[in-house]
Amino acid sequence: MLQNSTLKFLKDLKKNNHKTWFDENRKVYEAAKANYASLVTEVIKGLGKKDASIASLTAKECIFRINRDVRFSKNKDPYKTNMGMYLSRGGKKSLFSGYYFHLEPGGKSFAAGGLWMPEADVIKKVRQEIDYNWEEF
């Protein structure tokens, strides 16, 4: 179960998104990360009963890192103020469709499903399968 302290950490991080604060609060982050990993494990366990392709995943394979890649981003904050997981055959780096869950305080959490920015040949195959199996889809 998600603890309030995890959400509090994300709220505090949003107000103090710099390395000094993060380093001073690393133990709080580690606790929040462990709590989120427990939640991810429970989601995998539950959803894995309906979708066998994700049943053997571990939380580590599905959770995105908190460090933001600022090289090509307008947002230069060093850390993400959310926690995300992608459940898909092969984990978060998979090219297969899957389930995405985004945890962010302030009513910004959401769930989604599908593919993230698939290559042209992949999207062509997806569209073809939908066309061939329209009734089932």
Could you tell me if 66 and 2 are in contact, meaning their C-beta atoms sit under 8 angstroms apart?
no
- Which residues make beta-bridge pairs with 63? 85
Could you tell me if 12 and 24 are in contact, meaning their C-beta atoms sit under 8 angstroms apart?
no
The predicted-structure confidence for 76-96, as pLDDT tens digits, reads as follows 999 999 999 999 998 998 888
pLDDT at residue 117 above 90?
no
- Using a cut of 0.75, tell me whether the model's pTM lies above it: yes
* Angle of helix 26-48 versus helix 4-15 axis, rounded to 10: 130
In the chain, the amino acid numbered 86 is Y
Give Dmax (Cα) for the chain: 56
User: 3: helix, coil or strand?
Assistant: coil
User: 112: helix, coil or strand?
Assistant: strand
